[in-house]
Amino acid sequence: MKAINGGVCAAKGFKANGIHCGIRAGKVKKDLALIVSDVPAAAAAVYTTNLVKGAPITVTQQNLKDGMAQAVICNSGNANTCNANGIEIATQMCELTAQYTGVKAEDVIVASTGVIGQVLDITPIANGMQALVGGLSYEGSEQAAQAIMTTDTVQKEVAFSFMIGDTECHIGGIGKGSGMINPNMATMLIYVTSDVAITPALLQKALSDDVKDSFNMISVDGDTSTNDMLSVMCNGLAGNKLIDSEGEEYETFKAALAAVTHALSRKIAGDGEGATKMLECTVTGAETKECARTVAKAVISSSLLKAAMFGADANWGRVLCAIGYSGAQLDVTKVSVSFASCKGEISVCENGAGVDFSEEIAKEILLEKEIKINIGLHQGDFSATAWGCDLTYDYVKINGDYRS
């Protein structure tokens, strides 16, 4: 596995672009993105579990029933959610993509992000299609990544090359996500592309399995968005033998997919709204995988712990508190906790009770930009990792006037 450049254009046969079409106020920030494969691709997706869903999700679910897609179109700045004509607008976005690219409308993945409940006008999207398609490029991932951002402070791209047998393959992704992140499905908006040849059924299985340990393990603020979607397109242009059964080649693809999803998960967690620190909670020694996941997610989601991390306060009692209400069945008298960063690691709890430690050293460790919360349950062989960020004054400021 080798990290490479290119994002969603790292895989063979994928073009992308992003432009400002006029959805957003001003004339600078990009608000419309497009990704197109040269050929139809096996496709899979997972979606928000929120009962209030954006209209593009309904349309995309219908379009992906045959397991195939060839394009992704996404606008930012205004979420097509809770609108009476939402399905109509999402369908029109697919039809416009078909009109300007030649891709079938039913092979388009459509998405939307931004303010919920505000009517989305199709006019700027329609007026921008010629420029959007005209600017498609095999080096256009960066533009697409910029165009799907809302309150994100940095664009999020990643890509890897890897071998399946004797064939070099590629996989890459872009994502957006900064607030309203507590997915319990996938998260935010994530687009992954690959030139691997794989059946739609196995691609969906790989994706559904992957999110349990990647995007489902992020929490910025405990809110599950209405528009969350993670999609993957694999167009087969690498030339590997079709992966149509589980085995070594399938496991290799799953590892490559995990490399992308885990990297994007960390980027999203670190770019939480108002965040100053990225938090990583690793739980080891659990009796079951589900127990490890439950504990890690509860700790990373704790508002009290996140606030303590903002203040560089080694308040380990908040870790134990979150473990206790997580719902996981375990013996709390065996739990150990330590905090770590590039400045070192310090033990703060053993056998469910506090131990003497230097507050000064702990504070120095917790002042760093990336903090690790290590929890040992000492009751089994399973582990899990979750990602999040600190809770700051700026989070309230951002969300106090988000619509303005």
Catalytic residue IDs: 187
What Å distances lie between residue 29 and 22, 25, 133, 394, 402, CA to CA? 9, 9, 18, 21, 16
What Å distances lie between residue 189 and 47, 162, 261, 302, CA to CA? 9, 24, 12, 24
Q: Note whether 31 and 24 are within 8 A (CB).
A: yes
Q: Which amino acid is at 344?
A: G
Q: Note whether 267 and 278 are within 8 A (CB).
A: no
Q: Note whether 200 and 7 are within 8 A (CB).
A: no
* DSSP β-ladder status, 108-112 and 68-75: parallel
Burial class (CB in 10 A: 0-12, 13-18, 19+), 134: exposed
Please choose, from the candidates 287, 289, 293, 299, the residue with its C-alpha nearest in 3D space to the C-alpha of residue 329.
287
Q: Note whether 35 and 175 are within 8 A (CB).
A: no
Find all residues with CB under 8 Å of 25, minimum gap 6, and list them.
none
What Å distances lie between residue 254 and 42, 190, 250, CA to CA? 15, 17, 6
Give the position of tokens 């703060």. Answer: 348
Q: What one-character DSSP code corresponds to residue 121?
A: P
Find all residues with CB under 8 Å of 67, minimum gap 6, and list them.
42, 43, 44, 199, 200, 201, 203, 204
Find all residues with CB under 8 Å of 23, minimum gap 6, and list them.
31, 32, 75, 76, 77, 78, 114, 120, 121, 124, 125
Q: What one-character DSSP code corresponds to residue 23?
A: S
